[in-house]
């Protein structure tokens, strides 16, 4: 049986709510230890245009 990692980043998937991601994190045996957001861009007519915000939660393994 493989051991779980002590810290894992859980990304909010497209079409998934933040609450759903947090429930998934908890169900996997982790607790929230941080949050990170970064914009996702696409290039349109030579300019970078933001298309969405990428949200990740850092999970720490519950002992």
Look at the block and give the residue holding tokens 């969405």: 52
Distance CA 57, CA 9 (A): 6
For residue 24, is it within any domain?
yes
pLDDT of residue 4: 82
pLDDT, tens only, 15-62: 999 999 999 999 999 999 999 999 999 999 999 999 999 999 999 998
> What DSSP line would sit under 3-51, residue for residue?
PPPSEEEEE--TT--HHHHHHHHHHTTEEEEEEEEEEEEEEETTEEEEE
pLDDT of residue 10: 97
Which pTM does this prediction carry?
0.80
Total number of domains constituting the chain? 1
For residue 42, is it within any domain?
no
For residue 13, is it within any domain?
yes
For residue 45, is it within any domain?
no
Look at the block and give the residue holding tokens 């914009």: 39
Domain coverage including residue 16:
1-35
For residue 50, is it within any domain?
no
């Amino acid at each position: 049986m493989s051991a779980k990692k002590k810290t894992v980043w859980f990304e909010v998937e497209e079409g998934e709510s933040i609450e759903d991601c947090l429930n998934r994190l908890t169900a996997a045996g982790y607790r929230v230890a941080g949050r990170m957001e970064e914009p996702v861009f696409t290039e349109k007519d030579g300019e970078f245009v933001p298309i969405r915000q990428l949200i990740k939660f850092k999970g720490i393994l519950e002992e």
